[in-house]
Amino acid sequence: MSFPSVWPWSKQSPGDYKSVETDSSDEEYKYSDQLNSTSLVDSATTSSCDHDEEESGCRCSRGQSKSWPVLVKALVGANILLFLASTALFVGRVYQWPTRLNGAYRQVTTYSPVLDDVEIPFVEKQIQGGLFPAEKTDDQLLGRREPGPETDDLWLDFEIQRPFLLTREQVLALGKDPEKTVKYPDEVFGLGPEAYMGGMDVFHVLHCFNTIRKEAFKDYYFDGEKYHMEAYGEESTPRREHSELFWIHMRHCTDIIVQFLMCNADTTMTTMTWLETQSRPWPDFSVNKKCIDFDTLVRWRDENALDIKDAGMVRRPPGAPETKISDMYWRIVGNETHPGDKIHHPIWD
């Protein structure tokens, strides 16, 4: 950077100089014909640099005293602003999810328009994992209820696929091709030319499980009457090939899976497509998910599990505290003298 570019006043013309003969032949003075009163005042207040310093690009002390502090302050201020901006960006990046709708949930799931519409709270629940159901039907969860028409009606409310509206941008965010996604006819729904059909995947999963549940319980008796489901005709012959405890176990497993599905439900949306040979919209259940690496869990299990044979030999020591078992157990095994006795009928053996 040149000297004039830093100090604008240095661009002034120095005027004409001439030599004047003096008594000393080796001493020469230079005078300017164009010096005015202003330049004289300036020269009186400006500290001069010696000859060596002038040749090396010396800057006068008055310029330093006025300009350098301003420049330093500007640089310091700019650095402070840059630091604050960087800190704000970092903090905002780390803590942005608490202030965004469903911010924490977004970290562990894929995109869904549901996340932009309603706050989904986290709820701590204890899974009802006991083998025997609650005595009162109203206290039993959906998966634990005894099979029958009333139970089927409850299931129907969960497994019915209800249609939803998706925009083109939402379809793209779901990782689907709008050109292959079914639209709602504008002449029927009046939703515009870019209205796409969507559904919620979790209720499809519940539907699939309910189909398996009904097949597992198709031969189930209750109250001495034959239980018929919509999928089976009157000509079907019900059979009771299993014990009551078997069916209780089936209800337990059903309920455990249903609780797991509901606890781990997400907001994944499904779309509809036109399938070859089909005239009606066909659901596209090949959805995109954000999943844990299940293989990692399997490896951890294999690396950390204890010997299964040794674990199978563990028996309760004398005096160990007991957890009360359901009264249904004693009704099934026929031992009503449990209080005080030491007889324990195995369930799993």
In DSSP terms, 269 is beta-bridged to: 200
- Phi, psi (deg, nearest 5) at residue 310: -65, -40
pLDDT tens digits, residue range 27-83? Answer: 444 444 444 444 444 444 444 444 444 444 444 444 555 566 778 888 888 888 888
Q: What is the mean pLDDT of residues 316-341?
A: 74
Give residue limits of the domains in the chain.
127-304
Select, from the ranges 116-130, 142-156, 187-201, 204-218, the one with the highest average predicted confidence (pLDDT): 187-201
Q: What is the pLDDT of residue 135?
A: 79
Alpha helices in the chain (DSSP H): 3-6, 37-45, 51-55, 61-94, 103-106, 149-159, 168-173, 186-189, 201-216, 244-263, 294-304, 308-312, 327-333
- Model's pTM, two decimal places? 0.61
Mean pLDDT of the residues in the chain: 75
Stretch (H or E) spanning 270: strand 269-273
Pairwise pLDDT comparison (25 vs 140), residue with the higher score: 140
Pairwise pLDDT comparison (94 vs 190), residue with the higher score: 190
Q: Using 50, 70 and 90 to split pLDDT, how confident is the model at 7?
A: very low
| For residue 339, pLDDT beyond 60 | no
Pairwise pLDDT comparison (217 vs 49), residue with the higher score: 217
pLDDT tens digits, residue range 171-213? Answer: 999 999 999 999 999 999 999 999 999 999 999 999 999 988 8
Q: What is the pLDDT of residue 242?
A: 73
| For residue 310, pLDDT beyond 50 | yes
CB neighbours of 289 closer than 8 A, spacing ≥ 6?
110, 266, 268
